[in-house]
Amino acid sequence: MVLDKRLAELRDRIQQLSPAKAHERLVAGAVLIDVRDPGELAQGMPAGAHALSRDELEMRIDQLAPPEAPVMLICASGPRSLLAADTLARLGYEQVAVVTGGMQRWKREGLPCTRPEGIDDDGAERYARQLNLPEIGIEGQAKLADARVLLVGAGGLGSPAALYLAAAGIGTIGLVDDDRVDRSNLHRQVVHRDDRVGTPKTDSARATLEALNPNIDVRTHQVRLNSDNVEEIFSNYRIIVDGSDNFPTRYLVNDACIRLGLPNVYGAVQRFEGRVSVFAAGGRPCYRCLFSEPPDPEFAPSCSEAGVLGVVPGVIGLLQALEVIKLATGVGEPLIGRLLLFDALGTRMRELALGPDPGCRYCADDREFPGYVDYAEFCSGRASQDLETND
Closest of 211, 166, 161, 129 to residue 322, by C-alpha:
161
Rounded to whole angstroms, the Cα distance separating 140 from 146 reads: 10
Rounded to whole angstroms, the Cα distance separating 105 from 267 reads: 50
Query: Is the peptide bond between 200 and the residue preceding it cis, with omega within 30 degrees of 0?
Result: no
Rounded to whole angstroms, the Cα distance separating 188 from 177 reads: 16
* Cβ closest to other proteins, residue 209 vs residue 290: 290
Binding mask 279-318 for Zn ion (x = CB under 5 A): ----x--x-xx-----------------------------
Which of Zn ion, other proteins, none does residue 363 bind (CB under 5 to 8 Å by kind)? Zn ion
Task: Give least dist CB 289 to Zn ion, A.
Answer: 3
Is 23 exposed, middle or buried, given 0-12, 13-18 or 19+ CB atoms closer than 10 A? buried
Task: Give least dist CB 244 to other proteins, A.
Answer: 5
* Cβ closest to other proteins, residue 231 vs residue 351: 351
* Cβ closest to other proteins, residue 54 vs residue 382: 382
Which of Zn ion, other proteins, none does residue 286 bind (CB under 5 to 8 Å by kind)? Zn ion
Query: Residues 312, 274: contact at Cβ < 8 Å?
Result: yes
Task: Give least dist CB 286 to Zn ion, A.
Answer: 3
Rounded to whole angstroms, the Cα distance separating 75 from 68 reads: 22
Which of other proteins, Zn ion, none does residue 155 bind (CB under 5 to 8 Å by kind)? other proteins
Longest CA–CA span in the chain (Å) reads: 91
Contact positions vs other proteins (CB under 8 A): 153, 155-158, 242-247, 250, 267-273, 275, 290-295, 299-300, 302-303, 306, 308, 313, 339, 341, 350-355, 357, 386, 390-391
Binding mask 266-285 for Zn ion (x = CB under 5 A): -----------------x--
Rounded to whole angstroms, the Cα distance separating 114 from 120 reads: 11
Binding site for Zn ion (CB under 5 A): 283, 286, 288-289, 360, 363
